[in-house]
Amino acid sequence: MELVKKIKNPAVRETVDWIIHIGIAIIIAIFITKFVFQRTVVYKISMQPTLKEGDNLIVEKISPKINNIDKGDIITVYSPEYVHEKGNTMIKRVIAVEGDTIKIDDGKVYVNDKVIKEDYILGDYTDNSGEYIEEKIKEDHVYVLGDNREEKIIDSREAGQIKMENVSGKAVMRVFPFNKFELF
């Protein structure tokens, strides 16, 4: 700030000081949205009833980098091969993590041979298109499903296990609509 102090004209000095402070604030904001947090808007119906189209979420980006993703977390997945609009991002729930065995049979989801309680889903049947699904989750992968099990949606049943390098964030809260504010 020595440069600012050398300016003789008080109006110019004040203007330069404001420009420097605004520039610093912009750099910090860019850093935060690039590496720490970002706002994400829900498009589509794959996470109903938990999330509705138009919901605004705050997603933190550090957990995927340090492998701090657990069963039940709602995550964003960068998936351009399956999503062709709105930023190529899917929002899904983690059902199984590295080392787990996932099985979908007769409409029920099993993790490590135990039926999981899914009181958050829409419907009570998980379609596996008539195929018996059983697989062990590979290292650095997760298995994700949407909460809306009544519609044909893209999740790990179609896309397969998701590489952790494609997990772009973990939802920490819904901030809009305001009357549905919620921490995850």
| Catalytically annotated residues | 46, 92
- CA neighbor of 75 nearest in space, from 183, 175, 172, 181: 172
Sole residue written with tokens 């420009």: 19
Burial class (CB in 10 A: 0-12, 13-18, 19+), 93: buried
Give the CA dihedral 27, 29, 35, 37, nearest 10 degrees.
Answer: 180
Cα 68 to Cα 40: distance, rounded to the nearest angstrom: 20
Give the CA dihedral 182, 162, 68, 92, nearest 10 degrees.
Answer: 10
